[in-house]
A and B are shown apart, each in its own frame.
Chain A
Amino acid sequence: MTRKQRRMTIIGGSLAVLALAAALVLNALRDSIVFFSTPTMVAEKHVAPGKRFRLGGLVQPGSLRRGDNLAVTFEVADGGAKLPVAFKGILPDLFREGQGVVAEGALDDNGVFKADTVLAKHDETYMPKDVADALKKQGHWKDDYGAQASGGAKPAATTAQGNSQGAVR
């Protein structure tokens, strides 16, 4: 083989591998990408049952119900809409009502989001970024809650104004 032929062989091989990789990536992008949604987006876009996505929002206070054998249901809200979520398993250490949460799963036929993973905020100042961004974008940031907190904390004497939003950065 001449030098040129050898080079062509190598270049041909490289192109073949690259084409293979590109095909694999395009194929994977078609079905294995998980999108992020908030309850409002779910309501607007009518996500089909069974399509996996990540749901983010705040755990609606008062909605957490524990069933038998670690089954839990709660609602995720983003100010605009609410979506019921069912999960079976151990909730993360920092899962709380009124706090940000991200769940991954799919809707069932009754419009209940069946989650197989639930992530809560990691520490006192961390909110799952998807949630924070989405809430900010919608203008549903914690203004309402914050206002109520600073307005609310007070009949007796101590104040915590300003700090009441400390839980969310």
Chain B
Amino acid sequence: MTLWFVFALMTVAAIFAVLWPLGRSGRAQNQGSEVAVYKDQLVEIERDLATGLIAAPEAAAARVEISRRLLAAAGSELVSEPKSSLKWRRAAAVLALAGLPLVAIGVYMPLGSPRLPDFPLAQRERGSGMAQSLENMVVQVEQHLEKNPTDGRGWNVLGPVLQRLGRFDDAVRAYRNALTYNGESAERRSDLGEAISAAAGGVVTAEAKTEFERAHALSADDPKANYFLGLAAEQDGRKDDAANIWRALLAKAPADAPWRPLVQTSLARVGGGGATLPALSDETLAASKDMNEGDRNAMVRGMVERLATRLKQNGDDVEGWLRLVRAYLVMGDRDKAVGASTDARQAVASDAARLRQLNEGLKTLGLDG
């Protein structure tokens, strides 16, 4: 209520600012004119002459010049009768009384949030009854850790949350601290490595790789470390090494491990070379059926879609097309796979070498003709 009262007061003040001069009619006001300026200039010349700043001949010349202008100005000075046009003044008054509040309300209402109270820091610290979002809780944990930086458990909790929020650099720091205050463990090392590579936009940097190697040294079976070492190998272009690492990982993995399909897709991805057909074994295809229910499905699909979009813009990439077709096959979507291979053929149709490469690739995928 107070707010509306304040608004009303402000509006009245604004209207008053327009109405006030309208009310003070016709009184002659002191205003500047050209003649006054030239007269001032003449006085100024006399003063300069008196202090010896200009010599008499120059003063005389200036006086002549200015007097000439003075005469001209006096001649052309508008014999301005202050008129008062009541009709227009009324119009202006109406504009102020009606138009001003209309504009103000019309602009303010869609933009403002008059119901929202202020929420300054002081008040916020008192009342904490409100529902707190994940981010707020993170902030509180962070503030707690700021004061107690040696609380290893806190860092343990914070790391994964930050990772999920996408604050990878902070997650890296949290994992580092967790390592410092909780001691070594393969899991923490590989979490740290994951955060580092996430911070680098998904690239397993040398730094991240070191962490995974340490984790691997601590526990040769740590799945995350193994997976990422494979990824590192893939990014370095050593696809066979990657495939070997992942194949070993799958061999040792429990049958119901939630990350199995992921490793299998990855394996399928590097399976372009000679030794890779096993990647498309029945096992993989079978696994892909489970994936359709799993919530990783969306993720993989997103990846595939991105690839598809990219290829639509730039169709020269034979490898990319093959990867796309393979992905559709893995996902059990044979129609799309066939569609993609048709698109691919069209895209590279003009380039004989590429077309041949594409056809050979498609043949190995079992999509002949």
Contact = CB atoms under 8 A, between A and B. Distances in A.
A154 B265 contact: no
Interface stretch (A7-15, A49-57, A95-103, A109-117): A95-103
Interface string A145-165: 111111111111111111111
B205 A61 contact: yes
A163 B169 CA distance: 12
B198 A156 contact: no
Interface stretch (B55-63, B158-166, B352-360): B158-166
Contacts of B263: 155
Contacts of A61: 200, 203-206, 235
Nearest to A145: B202
Nearest to B187: A156
Contacts of A145: 201-203
B201 A152 contact: no
Chain B interface mostly: helix
A67 interface: no
A147 B307 contact: yes
A10 to B, nearest CB: 21
Given A142-B202, A155-B227, A161 B314 contact: no
Contacts of B227: 152, 154-155
Nearest to B225: A155
Given A62-B236, A97-B205, A97-B206, A149 B197 contact: yes
Contacts of B204: 61, 152
Nearest to A62: B206
B296 interface: yes
Chain A interface mostly: loop
Contacts of A139: 310, 313-314, 317
Contacts of B303: 147, 150-151
A152 B168 contact: no
A156 B223 contact: yes
Interface in B284-306: 296, 299-300, 302-303, 306
Interface in A47-76: 61-62, 64
B306 A143 contact: yes
Interface residue range, chain A: 35 or more
Contact of A98 (B194, B200, B228, B236): B200
Nearest to B263: A155
Given A143-B310, A150-B202, A155-B227, A163 B197 contact: no
Nearest to A165: B201
Nearest to B265: A151
A159 B299 contact: yes
Nearest to B303: A147
B224 interface: yes
Contacts of B223: 155-156
Contact of A147 (B207, B226, B306, B314): B306
Given A62-B236, A160-B168, A151 B266 contact: yes
Contacts of A166: 166, 168
B194 A153 contact: yes
Closest 6 CB pairs of A and B: A149-B202, A163-B166, A98-B203, A139-B314, A155-B259, A98-B200
30 contacts: A61-B205, A97-B205, A98-B201, A98-B205, A99-B200, A139-B313, A141-B310, A142-B201, A145-B202, A147-B303, A148-B203, A148-B235, A149-B198, A149-B202, A150-B302, A151-B266, A152-B202, A152-B227, A152-B231, A153-B197, A153-B202, A155-B224, A155-B226, A156-B187, A156-B190, A156-B191, A158-B160, A158-B164, A165-B201, A166-B166
Interface of A: 61-62, 64, 96-99, 124, 138-139, 141-143, 145-168
Given A158-B163, A160-B164, A163-B168, 18 more contacts: A61-B206, A62-B206, A97-B206, A98-B203, A147-B202, A147-B303, A147-B307, A148-B203, A150-B302, A151-B266, A151-B303, A153-B194, A155-B259, A155-B263, A156-B187, A158-B164, A165-B201, A165-B202
